[in-house]
Structure 1
Amino acid sequence: MNPGANPIPGLDTAAVRRWIADHDADLTGTPAFTRIGLGQSNLTYLVGDEAGHRWVLRRPPLGQLLASAHDVLRESRIMSALAPTAVPVPAILAATTDSEVCEVPLVLMQYVEGRVVDTMEIARSLTPGQRGDIAGSLTRTLARIHAVDLDAVGLADLAGHKPYAQRQLKRWSRQWEQSRTRELPGIDDLTRRLGAAVPPQHETTLVHGDFHLRNVITAPDTGEIVAVLDWELSTLGDPLADMGSLLAYWVEPGEDIGGDFPASALPGFPDRAEMARGYLDATGRDREALTFWHVLGLWKLAIIAEGVMRRAADTPGNKAAAGTPTVERIDAIVDKAREIATAAGM
């Protein structure tokens, strides 16, 4: 590769190479940059040099961005704070806002060896026992996130301490208005029903905000989570919100809300009730309130998917290898959320 070449949209690879060399003397020769992960938000690249060293680079998406979204510097602050805790995260090596390196902030982090279960091919290659081990580690790791001492790690000021449900409803309603591609009465109906059913908040903890199977790295031999990724939506709030989001992603056999990734419907992965029971038994949190957060998780997932569809249409360079959410999938998520809300009397 020509060091002066710039084959990666949004990255001046020669400038980034110099920046990495300033922070890691082990960089050898000219590094190669490869887009990795199936994430549709912040762009993630594997950086590999001629000696086999590897790093991970993160930057916001291309094109016009919504205010307060895709803040990689905030994400790096959270991950740095979690380094001494029981929550496994990649080490943050450097971050920059220098316009001579990139027109947007960049974060450089440790490359963590392990397996990311982010395609059906990988999910099918697992034994039922391995799937069960990963599922158990998901709920245990989520409990660890919610047990972080905010004052001890310096994250007590990460966000406001006002009731989280109202903050979420306000924020994602605004995101919907700014990113929607069409009228969708089901979203409006869910927004109204959620607003009328907010449960009381009894505690404030660190909340990951997007915790699911594709956002963790697992150890191939044990299934234990060795790194939790994608902290850009992390905040302070009700811990049940994370479990609700995990259930929103957790597809069961016969459902059509999983898009190209209905991995949790494979044998060995427990159903949603068992996943919820494992977390609630370990933490002693409110079973009744979890249904609200499950519905809100589906509502938010539909809004996020609509935003991804909008960004990919506006700026094709943001498209990830997994493709783009479809109108049909988004509608199915909304329908599932309304079904669960109706059954719960919301």
Structure 2
Amino acid sequence: MADLVDLGALAEWLRGRGMRGEIGEVRPLAGGTQNVVLRIEIDGRPLVLRRPPVHPRPSSNRTIAREITVLRGLAGTDVPHPRLVAGCEEPDVLGVVFYLMELVDGVNPGEETSPEQRADPALRHAQALDVARSLARLGAVDPVAEGFGSLQKPGSFLGRQVPQWLRQLEGYREFPEWEPGGLPDVGPVAEWLEANRPADAPPGVLHGDYHLNNVMLARAEPRVAALVDFEMTTVGDPLLDLGWLMVSWPEEPEAMDVGGPFARLGGLPTRTEMVAAYAAGGGREPVHLDWYTALAGFKLGIVLEGTNARASAGQAPRETGDVLHGHAVRLLTVAGRIARGDWSVTG
């Protein structure tokens, strides 16, 4: 673990914050494909340390600092989340920004299921509905009162989405072996999104990557134990999170492989039931939901295609690039169907 965390430097930093700094077992945790996630025993207490990858990207420290801001802001709200224990926003301790958070007692549905979940379809159904209700609670957080103001960019959040992600896609041309024509409906979807863009709503907290793999579920209770992975959290339009949940929901058409063993057990609510749970849980009125779902498919598809572009240049595993390219194609296919009027989220 020496290449991931300097335990001596960490212990000294902890002592400077009033802790004993006694470090026990350290081991990697599953999940966190973009960042390092470690289970670490400190002063006899199991915690989680999260830091950038061994070879950080230029934005890696900013991403972890963003997560620290989010966890601080969620403290005291009714949004289920891991409690922040301590955060270091300067890279002079471990060479990177990092933080410690509580270890959540729960299961990630994309990776495992509990015996209770496997035995009880009603439990799985109820837990999935709480995924929608938890999202409603996140979107209801006041971004100014809870300290999220630094995450808000000036100007129209919705107005900059399509141009931003078209620029992102164009940037993949730096990888000469990447085939820019490999994604369907990009142009028509972009035009439809711009022509049908809703008016900007009051800003709210946006998770940015909300799907079943980014929550922890209680083992035997009908609730979400915590939302996790706030790498893309910002201040914007929370209904985009609902669209993200809809386009990634493990239900046809073109269902993505999200939710892992939990989803494969079946018995989950339909998209219509999820939208109703979101609204009943205090979320914003789910208007223009087809538009938000198409935008989510457009944006997420372009994000995932980045790995395929890097794989074409040997900078990412070819197998991973192929899998994520397949996801991108499915996401943009759904967005294209919405734009053509061939499919609607709630039928």
- State the TM-score, normalized to the length of structure 1: 0.82
Query: CA separation in 2, counterparts of 1:164 and 1:213?
Result: 25
Q: Supply the distance in 2 between the matched residues of 1:310 and 1:122 (Cα, whole angstroms).
A: 37
Report the Cα offset of residue 159 of structure 1: 0.4
- Cα deviation for residue 234 of structure 1 reads 1.2
| Alignment partner, residue 133 of structure 2 | 140
CA 1:264–1:149 in structure 2 vs 1: closer, same or farther (change >3 Å)?
same
Mapping of residues 1-346 of structure 1, within 5 Å: 6-8=2-4, 11-20=5-14, 22-23=16-17, 25=19, 27-34=21-28, 36-48=29-41, 53-63=45-55, 65=57, 67=59, 71-119=63-111, 125=118, 127-160=120-153, 162-179=155-172, 181-183=178-180, 184-186=182-184, 187-253=186-252, 255-258=254-257, 261=260, 263-264=262-263, 266-283=265-282, 285-310=284-309, 313-314=314-315, 325-343=323-341
- Counterpart AA for 1:273: T
C-alpha change, 1:7 and 1:68, in structure 2 (3 Å) is closer
What is the distance in 2 between the residues matched to 1:7 and 1:116?
26
CA distance in 2, matches of 1:262, 1:31: 28
How far apart are the structure 1 equivalents of 2:254 and 2:56? 34
- Give the CA deviation at 1:37: 3.4
Deviations along 1:262-292, one digit per CA (max 9) or x if unpaired, are 8546432111122122223544744441111
3-state SS of 1:153 partner: coil
Secondary structure at 2:144 match in 1 = helix
Name the CA shift for 1:136/1:207 in 2 (closer, same or farther; >3 Å): same
Does the aligned pair in 2 maintain the 1:251–1:262 contact within 8 Å? no
SS in 1 for 2:323: coil
Query: How far does residue 96 in structure 1 lie from its aligned partner after superposition?
Result: 2.2
Question: Does the Cα contact within 8 Å between 1:210 and 1:233 map onto a contact in 2?
Answer: yes
2:142, 2:153 → 1: CA distance? 16
The alignment yields a C-alpha RMSD, in angstroms, of: 3.3
Maintained 8 Å contact 1:179/1:307: yes
Deviations 1:97-142 (A, max 9, x none): 4444333211222212122212366697352111111112111111
Aligned counterparts of 1:32 and 1:68: Cα–Cα separation in 2: 22
Instruction: Confirm or deny: 8 A CA contact 2:73 2:146 kept in the other structure.
Output: yes
Whether the 8 Å CA contact 1:161–1:237 is kept in 2: the answer is no
**Structure 2 residue matching 1:115: 3-state secondary structure:** coil
SS at structure 1 position matched to 2:33: coil
Note if contact 1:130-1:268 (Cα within 8 Å) is conserved in structure 2.
no
Query: Structure 1 residue 343: deviation in Å?
Result: 1.8
Letter aligned with residue 218 of structure 1: L
Between 11-20 and 52-61, report the one with greater CA deviation.
11-20
Q: Which amino acid aligns with 2:315?
A: D
Q: 1:220-244, CA deviations, whole angstroms, 9 ceiling, x for partnerless residues?
A: 1213112211112111112211100
Take 2:294 and 2:47, find their aligned partners in 1: how far apart are those partners? Answer: 37
Change (3 A) 1:164 1:344: farther
The 3 A distance-change label for structure 1 pair 277 and 326 is same
Residue identity matched to 2:205: L
Q: Secondary structure at the match of 2:31?
A: coil
CA deviation after TM superposition for structure 1 residue 323, in Å? 9.4
Residue 248 of structure 1: SS of its match in structure 2?
Answer: helix
Task: Provide Cα deviations, 1:24-61, integer angstroms capped at 9, x if missing partner.
Answer: 73543544231x23333233222236x75211112223
Distance 1:96 1:178, change over 3 A: farther
Q: Distance in 1 between matches of 2:157 and 2:86?
A: 31
> 1:58-98 CA deviation, whole Å, 9 max, x = no partner?
22234463658961112111211110111122222222244
In the aligned structure 1, how far is the partner of 2:261 from the partner of 2:191?
29
